[in-house]
Structure 1
Amino acid sequence: MKIDKGNSKHWIYLLRSLLIIIITLPVSVLRTKKNLILYGHKLNGNLSALYDFVNDQNLNFDIFFLTMDPRYYRQLKEEGKNVLHMGSVSDMARVARAGAIITDHGMHTLILYRLFTSIRFIDVWHGLSYKGFDAQTFKHLHGHDETWVQSETMREFYVNKFGFSENQVKVTGYGRADRLILGQYDRSAILEKYRLPDRKTILLAPTWTQDDKNRSILPFGVSLEAFFDAMEEVGKKKSATVIFRTHLNSGDSINVDHYDHIRVMPSSLYPVAEEFLFITDLLVTDWSSIATDYLVLKRPTLFLDVPAPFAKGFTLGPEHRFGEIVTSMDEMIKSIDTYINDQPLFLSKYEQKMIHTLSASYGSTIDGKARERYLLHLKRILNITDKC
């Protein structure tokens, strides 16, 4: 759950969880190594990859997603997920007995468990590419036992720029990318799940305002109506579905339902990005980390030539934008028309750039085995042998 500092309910949730954690601290002496807790905004990304892998492989772990959002808790319950609520004393007693708590975006009041118990804390982050960070950004994670990153290059950033010690940072790969790398999704099942037609798919996925609060997520100064009118024409011409997917931090307020070829599917309501990436034939983005997630598929990618909204510069710089950079709506439409049905042409122009960015983003981990490495590192840090 992302905390809204202007929402009084969120402050109540935080205070309640703080009090319950204090109550349950003594229970931590009954710690169970194979009790795993996942904590983040949503059960998606690397957390979801680990959750699904543990359950699909019938591994001998008890794994739960923890949330302080009562509505999201009920949703996950209805979906049959193992979920715990931070407003429940009994649920938090289970958390207090965890062997490890694995985060991907901060920990809020869970910091008390890190300070006063022997629970292991691990961070897997949720997306890291273009946006620049510094040690202050990750100060709240410096007390974690470990942080797992996707490549050797990223490890260098964490150690040399973000303030982590060498012993803290382990190269594992990105679990969320494994199934994309291995082609383990079913296109027909995804289309059926989201009620999408079986035709070419264009994914528009801009990042949020980030550090530029006056920034529009629409490019080139166009209005919402003009942008969607133009994309509807693209959809008609190419017999394609255009999916407009806003970032979690952009909310879900855009509502357009009078277009035949456009679907607005924000990440706040449709959190599993990898399913959309798998069915996408061409991605249009700006500075979003979704680009490096999509990169493993080596499919056409267009980058909008708009200012980067990052106050602290770059992690991976602009040279790692591995596709066509478009400077206007006309150029974007022309490039979609060029590449939507011609992946070989795109690769002939940009494959070397793709390889360069793949090396930086994934390095030696571009093998679909990140989830296996997660488990190996978990067993090591928890001192679990296969005989346990």
Structure 2
Amino acid sequence: MKTLERLVIKYILKIIYCLSYIFKIKKRIVFATYRPDYMEGNYKYILDEIKKRNLDYECKILYEKPGAGLAGMLKYLKHMCIAEHYLATSEFFIVDDFYFPVYAVNKLRKGTEVVQVWHACGAFKKFALSTVDENYSNGNEYIKYIPIHTNYTHVTVTSKEVAKHYAAAFNMSEDNIDPIGVPRTDIFFDEKKKEEAKEILYKKYPKLKDKKIILYAPTFRGTGQSDANSGIAFDVDKVVNALGEDYVLAIKMHPFVKWRYEKESDKVVDMSDYKSINDILFITDILITDYSSTVFEFALLDKPMIFYADDLETYINDRDFYYEYTSFVPGPIVKTTDELVDLIKEDNYDLEKVRKFKEKFFDYTDGCSSKRFVDKIILKK
């Protein structure tokens, strides 16, 4: 959508928000997202905790992805209008990314809180308002008319270390940034659930059983869902041919990326359509990525990572990072297929660096982030 179209929608939503004042605020928690079309991640763990405690709240789930063409736009407009009404009439409105209806109003109604449970852990590549001066951003002109990432009353993060970066990204005080942990990481400390997740994976991908799994999980290139793109930066055949028969290369593209690897074999499997990357991490022996925030979750497993960053300079120019990349990443950096193969063959990784990385970016490693969320945000304990 162009800025003019967004402005028209913004004022339609503002009218709906104001008209909704005739309704009382309900004891309701709304989970709103445009990312997946099913319950997953932070939302699933928070909702499970709410149900476990039998809290007296109505829970409403709103997910709808923007559609193509006029019909798709009208359908999404209807979704936003409904969301706007819920925003005006609910105690809690939870989002996990950019969510337009939240920014359509200048000020929230008293009695409503908007909680941002950002979809990524830690703080790696820049996001939200931190990218305004980068090629990745919509730019100042857009933000002038549509004040994105406003109206958040709480933002939950993994540690005090990253609070300042989220405060900058959302132009808010650090006092409203809550380093209580990320609910979806609770599974990393639940051995029973981890084993169940592994069994489901091995049943779906039987050739992975008893193999050493190297997972390639790059981030996307582009500015969002509409133009997200990626591929495999290294020579897959050269890598798998150089490794022993006990290795399998698994590929997991970012959810925004539609591209799939079509030359699967006994040694290469594309798992991009599998919903939970966290589950895949449990069977992964080595992670290869570039600039993906998956590194934070993987660090919880104390396993080695390799960073294939052949376009690092370009990525810095386009988007940049919160930390200096080469000293920040908890693993070796390679830029060619040969360097990657040699490193895997050496099998010599500095896991102490991974552990220090984990300690820096996670204040809690106890599997109780969902409980803290309900206690701190919902129950105000």
Q: Shorter-normalised TM-score: what interval?
A: 0.7 to 0.9
- The one of 114, 119, 123 equivalent to 1:121 is 114
Q: Does 1:49 align with 2:57?
A: no
Contact kept? 1:284, 1:303, Cα under 8 Å? yes
Contact kept? 1:283, 1:300, Cα under 8 Å? yes
Distance in 2 of aligned mates of 1:70 and 1:325: 37
Which ranges of structure 1 fall in alignment gaps of 5 or more residues?
72-83, 340-344
Aligned equivalent of 1:342 = none
Contact kept? 1:50, 1:374, Cα under 8 Å? yes
Contact kept? 1:38, 1:63, Cα under 8 Å? no
Residue deviations 1:112-133, cap 9 Å, x none? 4674534211111111432135
Shift of 1:37: 2.4
Q: Residue 100 of structure 1 aligns to a residue in which SS?
A: strand
Distance in 2 of aligned mates of 1:258 and 1:217: 14
Letter in 2 for 1:376: D
Which ranges of structure 2 fall in alignment gaps of 5 or more residues?
68-75, 133-146
Distance in 2 of aligned mates of 1:113 and 1:66: 19
Letter in 1 for 2:199: S
Contact kept? 2:215, 2:250, Cα under 8 Å? yes
Letter in 2 for 1:54: I
Distance in 2 of aligned mates of 1:123 and 1:214: 23
- The one of 219, 237, 242 equivalent to 1:207 is 219
**TM-score, scaled to structure 1:** 0.74
Contact kept? 1:25, 1:116, Cα under 8 Å? no
Alignment of 1:1-20 (within 5 A): 5=1
Letter in 2 for 1:263: V
Aligned equivalent of 1:264 = 270
Aligned equivalent of 1:80 = none
Distance in 1 of aligned mates of 2:338 and 2:25: 60
- The one of 240, 251, 260 equivalent to 1:254 is 260
Q: Does 1:285 align with 2:289?
A: yes
- Which moves more between the two structures, 141-150 or 208-217? 208-217
Aligned equivalent of 1:178 = 186
Letter in 2 for 1:203: L
Distance in 2 of aligned mates of 1:218 and 1:300: 20
Shift of 1:312: 4.8
Paired residues, what number? 342
Distance in 2 of aligned mates of 1:147 and 1:367: 20
Distance in 1 of aligned mates of 2:239 and 2:252: 13
Aligned equivalent of 1:300 = 304
Contact kept? 2:130, 2:168, Cα under 8 Å? no
Distance in 2 of aligned mates of 1:86 and 1:114: 21
Structure 1 vs Structure 2 CA RMSD? 3.7
- How much identity, in percent, do the aligned residues show? 20
Shift of 1:53: 3.4
Aligned equivalent of 2:175 = 167
Aligned equivalent of 1:30 = 24
Q: Does 1:326 align with 2:340?
A: no
Aligned equivalent of 1:198 = 209
Residue deviations 1:125-175, cap 9 Å, x none? 111432135745496224211111110101132346763213221111122
Q: In structure 2, do the counterparts of structure 1 residues 159 and 22 end up closer, same or farther at CA, with 3 Å as the change threshold?
A: closer
Letter in 1 for 2:370: R
Distance in 2 of aligned mates of 1:65 and 1:55: 14
Contact kept? 1:66, 1:85, Cα under 8 Å? no
Q: Residue 242 of structure 1 aligns to a residue in which SS?
A: strand
Letter in 1 for 2:203: E
Distance in 2 of aligned mates of 1:279 and 1:114: 46
**TM-score, scaled to structure 2:** 0.75
Aligned equivalent of 2:343 = 335
